[in-house]
Chains A and B, each alone.
Chain A
Amino acid sequence: MRRYVARRVAALAATLLFVSALVFVVVRVLPGDPAAIIMGTEGSPEALARLRESLGLNRPLPVQYAEWVGGALRGDLGRSIQYDVPVGSLIVSRLPVTLPLALLAAVFMAAAALPLGIYAATHHRRAGDYLAMVVSQVGISVPQFWSGLLLILLFSVHLGWVSAGGFEGWASGPGPALRSLLLPAVALGLFQAAVLVRATRSAVLDVLREDYVRTARAKGLSERRVVGVHTVRNALIPVVTVAGLQLGQLMAGAIVLESVFALPGLGRLALGAISARDLPVVQGVTLFVASSIVLINFAVDLLYVVLDPRIRLD
């Protein structure tokens, strides 16, 4: 086990190095002169030269890359051009929107998908199963931002129960903040729940066909115990894997939903930085989100081994 973990950690380090290299290549190498992008067409040659100097663009690319990665490891992602504050602190200031949104969506996803998936599997090829499959098929066809718009149309335009967007912050207690995150979280979680329903159903169906489930039934256990104790616990292993991988998707989806509901999170930070040509911020946010997704995938990989002792590690 220890050797396996050590190997996985080495692979993780290599993967993160590639992530940073990809971001660096797109932002610093592909455009030729990043300073010209930041300045636009208005900059004088002298101003351009000064900006190049202050961003360290005059040095060889490998040196620039090494310095940028070294800084990132210490939490220093450079300074925002637009706000003139460290990119790292900008990212941290937006996390209280993006993270709770993704987590709330994950809770909604699990709460909707697991019972429905288990129900569908235990009612295989009956009306309830077909209904659950139709619902999930429709769910994975609806774009998240469109369900967001439809929720606004229903709850804000028609019923007037909530405002159509904006975020009141956590300062006045969790109530108002959660209220502004509720609709976007539902829109975000709905799509992923539809995916998870199908994964849960097929995992439970697989286990229901196992010999030990037949044995459990044969020794006269109630169907409740057969499903609750013998089936669901074993089926959870692949389900947890799928759900874990979906957390990364939720991070990416949060970027879209923040735009629909005008929430000041990481996605809006990056979109604003693009129109302001604030390259260090775009670079920092993409590095942060991509690394988080890779780390989540890594954690899921390890969790899988912990949950399932049957997995041979070599």
Chain B
Amino acid sequence: MARQRPLRHVTFTLGLAITAALLVVAALSLVYTPVDPLAMSMTARLEGPTGDHPFGTDQFGRDILSRVMTGAVTSIAVGVIAVSIGAGLGVLLGLSSGYAGGWLDETLMRLVDAVQGFPAILSALLFTAVFSPGMVVSMVAIGLAFVPAFARLARGSVLELREREFVVAARALGGGDGRLLLRHILPNSLPPLIVQATTSFPVAILAEAALAYLGLGTQPPYPSWGLMLKEAQNFLSLNPWFAVFPGGAIALTVLGLNLLGDGLRDLLDPKTA
């Protein structure tokens, strides 16, 4: 079967378009928002959508559209760093575990099993009890929750590749452990890891919003979609739109990233398509 051209793949293209739009909005918000996202107006509080404020205003009269735009930056930043933490730690654990084998492998995998018992919410609860809540707690808590999946994937590839001819040959030529792992094994296990990173990203964005909503993550004055929803909940009957737009932004972003991840998996791995 001929390799499918990426842009002919509906899921992939739709996901790419939504994600690109998200990135454009986030980048734009760094230089331009319709109104200053922190500017308050006591005369225009909790308004529904109007010409001046297409998404309405919050309890301090701040423009919700501008705040939703800047919230995108927070989501992307937390998402990228959390996935990097999860992928970095997970791949390191998985590679060493699979390559070493024996009791070290057994011990590290039990540690990975234990980490699996801590969804992002739980680690965030634990960290917030001893450190002050904030974006860093979010990033670390969400990142840790991704470690088991990356570790298992990386370990699986090492076990599969370790005895393959090109690796055995490299070892026979005198390649050290580090060289074998980094030059020969890691590059060949990248495609599933890339797919895993792509599919983890929307999960990270959902988790960031949930943590901010619970007051365990991003703190004011940083605009975060989860935080906006926490505030909106107190004014559901006065201005329901306040709860609709930030939530819609999360859902649309996550939808775009999920479609992109699904599309990428189909394109990179024709077996599962």
Contacts and interface: CB of A to CB of B under 8 A. Distances in A.
Interface of A: 11, 14-16, 18-19, 21-23, 26-27, 30-31, 34, 37, 137-138, 140-146, 149-150, 152-153, 157, 164, 248-249, 252-253, 255-256, 259-260, 267, 270-271, 273-274, 277, 279, 282-283, 285-286, 289-291, 293-294, 297
Contact of A141 (B107, B120, B251): B251
A11 B110 contact: yes
B122 interface: yes
Interface residues of B, number: 45
Contacts of A157: 236-237, 240
A252 B210 CA distance: 11
What 4 pairs between A and B have smallest CB-CB spacing? A18-B114, A290-B117, A146-B247, A252-B119
A30 B117 contact: no
Contacts of A21: 114
Contacts of A149: 229, 232-233, 236, 243, 247
Contacts of A37: 129-130
A285 B125 contact: yes
A34 B209 contact: no
Residue from A149, A271, A291 having most chain B Cβ neighbours under 10 A = A149
Nearest to B247: A146
Contacts of A248: 117, 119
B237 A291 contact: no
Contacts of B131: 30-31
Given A37-B130, A293-B119, A137 B259 contact: yes
B130 A145 contact: no
Given A143-B251, A150-B247, A274-B125, A19 B233 contact: no
Nearest to A298: B113
B115 A22 contact: yes
9 contacts: A11-B113, A27-B130, A31-B131, A141-B255, A249-B119, A252-B121, A252-B122, A274-B125, A283-B129
**Main SS of chain B's interface residues?**
helix
A84 to B, nearest CB: 18
B128 interface: yes
A270 B216 CA distance: 11
B151 to A, nearest CB: 13
Contacts of A270: 125
A270 B131 CA distance: 15
A144 B120 CA distance: 14
A26 B126 contact: yes
B265 to A, nearest CB: 12
A18 to B, nearest CB: 3
B213 interface: yes
B214 interface: yes
A31 B130 contact: yes
Nearest to A198: B262
A23 B229 contact: no
Contacts of B236: 149, 152-153, 157, 164
A255 B121 contact: yes
Contacts of B114: 15-16, 18-19, 21-22, 290, 294
Interface in B172-189: none
Contacts of B115: 18, 22
A260 B113 contact: no
B222 interface: no
B5 to A, nearest CB: 21
Nearest to A149: B243
B251 A153 contact: no
Contacts of B244: 150
A273 B126 CA distance: 11
A293 B247 contact: no
Given A11-B110, A19-B114, A256 B125 contact: no
Interface in B217-269: 226, 229, 232-233, 236-237, 240, 243-244, 247, 250-252, 254-255, 258-259
B121 A143 contact: no
